[in-house]
Amino acid sequence: MTFTVITASAGSGKTYTLTTRLADALAGGVRTSEIIATTFTTKAAAELRERLQLRLLELGQVEKANEIGSALIGTVNSIAGQIVQDYAIDLGLSPELRVLSEEESGTILTASINHTLAEVEEREHALLARLGYEGTPGQSANSFQREESWASAVRDLTKLARTNAVSPAALARNAEESIADFRAMIEAAGYETGPDQREQWRRTFEGCLAELKKDLDAALAAQAQGEELTEWPSDGAPVKRLGSTLGNVQGSVVTLEAAHRRMSRDMSAVPWREWMALADVSGMAASQGGKKPGARPKAVFAPLAALIFGESDGVGVLGNEAFLADVERLIRLAFSTAAHALEAYAERKAALGVMDFADQEILALDLVGDSDRVPASLKKRVRASLKERFRFLAVDEFQDTSPIQLELFMRLGDLVDDVVWVGDQKQSIYGFRDAAPELMAGVVSAVRKQHGGFAGGSVEALTDSYRSSAAPLSLSNALFTAIFRDMDPSTVALDIPERRESTRHEGGIEVWKGPETLPRAKDSALRSSIATGIHALLTSGATLDGKPVKPGDIAVLARGGGSLSTVTDALETLGIPTTGTERNLWTGREAHLMRAGLASLLDPSDTLALAELVDLIPEHASHETWFQELGALPDRAEREGRMKAWREDPSLASLEALRARAAQLSPSEVVLALIDALELPRRAKQWSTTEDRLAVLDAFHALARTYEDDCASRGRAMGLAGLRAFLDEHGEEHKLAHDPNAVTVGTIHGAKGLQWPVVITIVPDKAKDARDSVTVKPRPADEFDAEHPLEGRGLTFIPILNDAFPPMAKALALNPDVTRARLENRAEEARIHYVALTRAKYQLVLAGHKDLAETLYAQFSPEVVEAEIAEAAAWTPDRDDSPKALKERKVARDQKATYTLSLTEESDGSAALTVTGARVPVGLPGQSEPPCSADACENAKAGKCECGARVSTIPVTVLHHETPEELEESESPLEPYRQERSPLAASVAARPAGTPSSFVEHEGGLPARFAASAVASVGIDANVTIHAKLGAPLVGEGGEHRELVGEAVHAYLATPYALLPRERQLALARRITERWLGTDPLLKAKVTPEVVIEAGERWHAWSAREFPGHTAGTEVPVAWWNADGQAMEGWIDSLLTLENGHSIVVDHKTNSRTDPVQVLDYIRKEYVGQLATYMSALEERTGRRPEYALVHLPLSGYVVKVEIGS
């Protein structure tokens, strides 16, 4: 067997190299059916298959290219699944056994163990409460809640046990090992086990509280008598600033008395976290009516602190035998519950006849490995069969494999002739999916050292970047050769190959500093200002590689996705489209049609769904008259007859035909058929934001498929009712398919494997430093066997009880497993940011606050973390923790870093990022300058100089961006970005020639989308005249809340009021005025139901006389793309269609001006732009321009005619 490990870097051509190796093997005689190639995702596997086929065609291997389907290329799970399926009958399984998705397995696991958890939680409630383990799953006491989650700890143990092949028996051993580790760290911190002293703590608390009250009484007495209090009675300490101290002492007594009451009710129920908090009462939260204790209460309670810290007896809280007994009980309980959960989960899957991805991997490993769960004869036969079938094993994304997957690869590798593993340790960022980068490091080390079965193996490195230009490459080379000090710089730093020389100097590096604001608002302000920066980039005319920068060229990446909505909202406010974040699918017309169509299929008698269909489908005969038709039919039987006729309309024929066969279709097939029956793709192309609407339809289909899988995994029947409920539940937060024409806003994890011309990375203020209570305990490095990576791995559970309590922090710092896990977490943070800073092809932007450079480097330095750990391990109760001492210790910690990153800004406007400790070889982008002579230092030339003073200097541009809100308030607000017209939008057959751009000019500029009501009237040639006077004014001029009057009158005029008898008109008007005007007695008294009815009667009578035989549509929807490529969607109050086919636009306005000159001036200034937009939209849609528009002012009685030139 030949064994080759190819170490890659971001953008170094990893997939191309793997494809070439596979193609060379096939060209050299290996048959396609003898190939096993595995990668991390289904998408990556499909890309590998496609690239391999193209490469074979380039080599003239047409026959093998056509046979590519016989190669076993897929994800680890799919390959493991294929092996299991091939030998399923031998294993006593059905070959058709269904495999659960990740979401399904998570759901079943939760359902399987919840009963066990509930039993334990009920039985052990007091224990969990004392140890602070009653939190909500999915949240941490370090973030959004005070309590840790017991359920989460059990689930973590369950998951890690499966992915590391830890058996229930091993879990029991791990429990005892965890207990031993916990006791050992307590002893290492200097604490002895002693009797339960809580009663003594309570008495001491009472004594300290009494002393504090003495101090308070003395201070109050001195104040009352006008005397000066010079020292405190409790301890003789001098009194300083009595005025401010007295108020704090008074409030502190209230807070401390509340704590005493809790303690007195049931001392055994007081959480250990609260006892720990009493060691420093100044850290207690204020109770209701009380204050947070200050310096005086802290001094008075010093005797209690000494007891809890263990200063006097060496026991304290950590050595308290009752505390230790609780912790031991919790640890055993967690491991035993996890073991029971695994059994319950296995039983549940067996009952459903399903397996999950981990089952596939475990069974496949059982068939080819050393497991005693499979008969030896079967293993021998399977291994012989696989050895005969396959000759070449290729593993892509090696760094992301879990321990059990690595073991499977090792055993498969034993059976083939050639093995190629490709990976990049620097991009191992899926620790939450059980990736173990130390395993790749172990294998690479074993190959280099030629250990065991790796003798004769080789390690190759890819050293050129086929992605980034010199600027972003300079920073990643310099920064990460400094950070990854345990790696050879030649495996980290990349060069630009000759064929990419033309783009070497494209782009650059920018630093975007967020606005200086209050600490609580600074992160939000930074994210909002990023939108401003993107807007500036898009509107600047900037080009990269000869092409203008467009939204689809840009990505915004952050460590976590929770706060990215601020970026998305700000971008969309500026008219810049975004993709990558979740959205509500139900907001558009296409979704309303989908919902109504599905409801109609489910229940033919659903009259609401039918009415919505008629209202939304313009081709329906009753589209514009349905409300009037129903209003004119008071008899229920007649209304039912009319709705039956609606269903028989030709526009709904396809929907009715689908109803007859819907029962024979799967839910996903129903969704596709419904989309076709309602012609939703065609309609989407006639509306704005076409891509979004089509993506929504795709999302509904995908959700239907998910619903099918969910039903199958749960053993439930599927149907239209269940589908509708599922879509309702999951449609409100769903991620649409990627839009290539929009700015990508997402997480760094989601960006892995992707690239953009411009990447903006948000630099967090501090590293993620939450401790995981459940971790994998790997085999010691000096005992690691790369050929058997699962051997010696176990789990450890060190509960999170109060990590901030100094004695606990000291003990944790002395626990080697906790220290290792913390350093591994920091190392993963560095790898995550390596991924972030290597996505850019040309332009890299670091977005953060003023000290972002120092913040970035401090997050990753293992020496700084080790210094923090050492500092915690050296804690003593008498340590100086004043602000000055804390600052000095921070400076000392930072000085231990082997590298630094700093931002320097010069007076001439130039700026640079400087990396000290970089190890970039000479000649590569970002090369380091050694303090010694480069000519004399051969080590420096080779990039091997270990001098920590080596420096890389990278030029950058520093920009300061304000938030859109701040600019809106300034003298130069931003003009919204003008998006290009969608290539999927309906073509324009008859766009009116010479359409003036002034139709859409307004103070804010030209947005991608606009409302007709926001269109300015300046520059539009219009003739505005009084056309009719319908009577005296119905209400006087002026008054507040006129917009409510408008809503009420509009609501009434939009109904078929003319078809209703007087009493029903009155009831309708009362409901409307009560809804809109009920909160304002003055308006309600002025605009009565009778006034509203008269406004309607006047308009109806006049329009019937003026336009005999006309039909009137109300609230008519209209969508339009104007000549500037802008999208408009709106509703026309009323559209009159005359007998001769001409139309008139009617807009109802509730302005109450009575002076005709003022009325005309008002209409001309405020509404000509809106009416012109409606008329142009209707002309394009119908091919005939409305003759004119009418503005009906019902309160003043005027009808104004607006004639606008074409």
Cβ proximity of 25 and 18 under 8 Å: no
Query: Cα(896)–Cα(175) distance, rounded to whole angstroms?
Result: 37
Residue 102 burial class via C-beta count within 10 angstroms: exposed 0-12, middle 13-18, buried 19 and up: exposed
Query: Cα(224)–Cα(468) distance, rounded to whole angstroms?
Result: 76
Six-digit token pair at 1052?
């009434």
- The arithmetic mean of pLDDT across residues 91-103, rounded, is 78
- The arithmetic mean of pLDDT across residues 1056-1085, rounded, is 77
Fold observed for domain 483-580+742-776+792-960: Rossmann fold (3.40.50)
- The arithmetic mean of pLDDT across residues 435-447, rounded, is 76
List the one residue out of 408, 404, 378 whose CA is nearest residue 393.
408
pLDDT surpasses 60 at 976 = yes
Query: Which residues lie below 8 Å from residue 220, measured CB to CB, with a gap of 6+?
Result: 246
Cβ proximity of 67 and 32 under 8 Å: yes
Residues of the chain with CATH 3.40.50.300: 2-100+356-462, 483-580+742-776+792-960
pLDDT surpasses 90 at 21 = yes
The angle subtended at Cα 883 by Cα 881 and Cα 889, nearest 5°, is: 70
pLDDT band per the 50, 70, 90 thresholds, residue 407? confident
- The arithmetic mean of pLDDT across residues 407-421, rounded, is 91
Residues of the chain with CATH 1.10.486: 584-735
pLDDT for res 848: 85
Cβ proximity of 1128 and 688 under 8 Å: yes
**C-alpha distances in Å from residue 1145, one per residue of 192, 1035, 1112, 1116, 1150:** 89, 25, 10, 10, 17
How many residues does this entry show for the chain?
1206
Six-digit token pair at 545?
């590689």
pLDDT surpasses 90 at 663 = no
* Range among 329-333, 373-377, 724-728, 1035-1039 rated most confident: 329-333
pLDDT surpasses 70 at 72 = yes
**C-alpha distances in Å from residue 275, one per residue of 94, 258, 321, 657:** 57, 14, 14, 72
Least confident of 218-232, 766-780, 828-842: 766-780
Query: Which residues lie below 8 Å from residue 889, measured CB to CB, with a gap of 6+?
Result: 871
pLDDT for res 194: 94
- The arithmetic mean of pLDDT across residues 1157-1167, rounded, is 90
pLDDT in tens, 607-619: 888 988 988 888 8
Helices and strands, number each (H, E), in the chain: 44, 30
Query: Cα(456)–Cα(1194) distance, rounded to whole angstroms?
Result: 93
pLDDT for res 503: 87
Comparing 276 with 97, the larger pLDDT belongs to: 276
Least confident of 109-118, 183-192, 716-725, 820-829: 109-118
List the one residue out of 440, 432, 535 whose CA is nearest residue 487.
440
What is the β-pairing status of strands 35-39 and 2-7?
A: unpaired
User: Is the four-CA dihedral 401, 407, 413, 419 of positive or negative sign?
Assistant: positive
User: Is the four-CA dihedral 547, 550, 552, 558 of positive or negative sign?
Assistant: positive
Q: What is the pTM of this model?
A: 0.73
Return binding residues: 8-15
* Range among 14-28, 604-618, 640-654 rated most confident: 14-28
pLDDT for res 24: 92
What is the β-pairing status of strands 840-848 and 900-905?
A: unpaired
Q: Name the amino acid, one letter, at 725.
A: A
List the one residue out of 210, 206, 229 whose CA is nearest residue 218.
229
User: Average pLDDT, whole number, for the chain?
Assistant: 84
pLDDT in tens, 846-876: 998 777 776 666 667 778 888 889 999 999 9
pLDDT in tens, 249-294: 999 999 999 999 988 888 889 999 999 999 998 888 888 889 999 9
Cβ proximity of 738 and 754 under 8 Å: no
E strand intervals along 572-616: 578-579, 582-583
Query: Cα(424)–Cα(494) distance, rounded to whole angstroms?
Result: 13
pLDDT band per the 50, 70, 90 thresholds, residue 991? very low
Return binding residues for ATP: 8-15
Cβ proximity of 487 and 459 under 8 Å: no
CATH class of 997-1204: alpha beta
pLDDT in tens, 1102-1114: 999 999 998 888 7
pLDDT for res 1051: 77
List the one residue out of 399, 741, 739, 396 whose CA is nearest residue 580.
739
pLDDT for res 1057: 80
Superfamily of domain 2-100+356-462: P-loop containing nucleotide triphosphate hydrolases (3.40.50.300)
pLDDT for res 331: 97
CATH architecture of 584-735: Orthogonal Bundle (1.10)
